[in-house]
Structure 1
Amino acid sequence: MKSKEKIIGSIAILCISIIFIIIGFVLSSQKGTTKTSDYKDVFIETDKTSKKNNTGEGKASLSKKVEDSNVKSEDSIIKVDIKGAVKSPGVYEIKNGSRVTDLIKLAGGGTKDADLNATNLSKKLNDEDCIVINKNGEVNKTQMPNVSTSNGNIPNSSTANPTKSSTVSSSDNKGKGSVININTASKEELMTLTGIGETKANIIIDYRKQNGGFKSVDELTKVGGIGEKTLSKFVDKIDIK
C-alpha cells in the first residue's frame, strides 16, 4: 500500500515538473520573439531616417549644382553685335573667349567685297562688343559711340587713318578713366562696365536695395550671374564710396 502511494506521488511530482518546464519554455519563446521584433522595428526606423537624410542631402546638393551650373553658363556665353559686310549681320550668342574670326564664321562669313585684310581677326571678344566689317575701299565717315578700330584704339577725326575700313568695338573702353560707385550708380552707369548688360545691372540694383548697399566690392560675386571671372574684368573701375 505504501509502495503504491510512493509511486503515485512520484508520478504526480513528475507531471508537475513537466508542466512547469513547458510553461517556462513557452514564456521564454514569447520573450525571444518580442525582442527580435523590437530589434527589427529599430532597424526599420533607423533605415527610414537614414533614407530621409540622404534624400534631403541629395536635393540640397542637386540644387547647388543647378545654381552653380546656371552661373557658369551665364558667364561662359556673351552677346556680340556684328554689322557691315557679312552675310548675316545681327546679334549673336557666342562662347566667352571667342575671337573676331569665330564671330564672322557664325555670321555666315564675309561678303565678296568685305575688307577682311584690315580686320584684326584674332581680337578676343567681350560681352556687348559691336563688330563692324567694312567693304573694300570703304572709308569710315562716321563712328559709333565706343567703337574702336581693329587694334583696340578709339579713332578721332584728326588722327584716324582714312584707309582703315574695318572697326571693332571694345567694351574695355567703357567707363575708362572713371570709378563707379556701385552703391549709387544708375543702371546706365553700371552697363558701362565690361560684362554688365541691362539684366545684370537690374539685378545689381535689386540686390543693393534689398541688402542696404554693398559692404565691399567682392560682395558683387553674391549677385546672380556675376562670378569672380566677371568681376575681375572691371574690379579696378568700381568702388563702394
Structure 2
Amino acid sequence: MFAVRERMPLWVQTRCGLERRSVIALVVVLVVAAGFAVHHFWAGRAQPVSAPEVVRSAAPGEGAGASGAGQEPGPGPSAPAGGAQTPGGSAGTGGSGGTGGAEIVVDVSGKVRSPGIHRLPAGSRVADALRAAGGIRPGVDLTGINRARLLADGEQVVVGAPAAPGGTGATGAGAAGAAGAGAAAAGPIGLNTATAEQLDTLPGVGPVLAQHIIDYRTEHGGFRSVDELREVNGIGDRRFSDLQNLVRP
C-alpha cells in the first residue's frame, strides 16, 4: 500500500492524506476503471461477419404440385378433339397429319395452276396435292376425282383427263395414272384433226397450249409423227412423256 501511495502524484497524496482507507478506495476505483476499459475493448473488437443465407421463396402453386405428384395430368384445354390441323391438310380428317416429319413426292399434272413435282407430308390426300399445285382450273369436272384418297410416294395425279372405265377418275397412280388408261380406252386424240376443246382435255394442256398445237399444225401442214410435239412451244420432255401415248398424228 505504501509503495502505491509513494508513486501517486503529490496532489493526490495531499488530497487523500496518508489514510489507509483512502488508498484502498483509490485502488478499487482504478481496478474498476481498468475492468471497464478491458470490457469496452473486448466488446468493440472486430468480428467476422458471414453472409446471410439466401432462402428461396416457393413459387406459387409449388406446394400443390408436390402434393399431387402422383396424379396423372388431364387433357389440356387447347387440345383439339379431332387432331391438329397441319399446313395443306384438313382438320379432323387426318388428311395431312404426317408421321414424324416424313414426306412423300408426288407428280401433279393436268388442269391445275402449278403442275409439277410437289413434296407433301406422309399421309397426305389427293386434296392436299391439288392444293399444293395451286388448285384446279375453273370449269374442270371433279366428278371422278376422289379427293379423300391417301397418296403414295412417287404417285402421279392427273387432273382433267377422260375418266377410266369403272369410275377410277382422273387421279390414278403409277407412271401414266388412271387418266392414261381412260384415254387409251377412248382412243388416242388425232393431232391433225382435234379441236382446241379436245386438245384441252389432255393432261397438262390448257387453252393456250392447245392453241399452240393448232398453230404449229397450221404452219407446218400437220403432224407427221407424235415426236413433233416436242417442237411445239410449251411442251417439254416431261409433258411430252405424259402425252405421247394419248395422241396420234
TM over 0.5: no
Structure that is richer in helix per residue: 1
TM-score normalised over the length of structure 1? 0.38
**What is the TM-score with the length of structure 2 in the denominator?**
0.37
Larger radius of gyration: 2
Higher relative CO (Cα under 8 Å, sequence separation at least 6) belongs to: 1
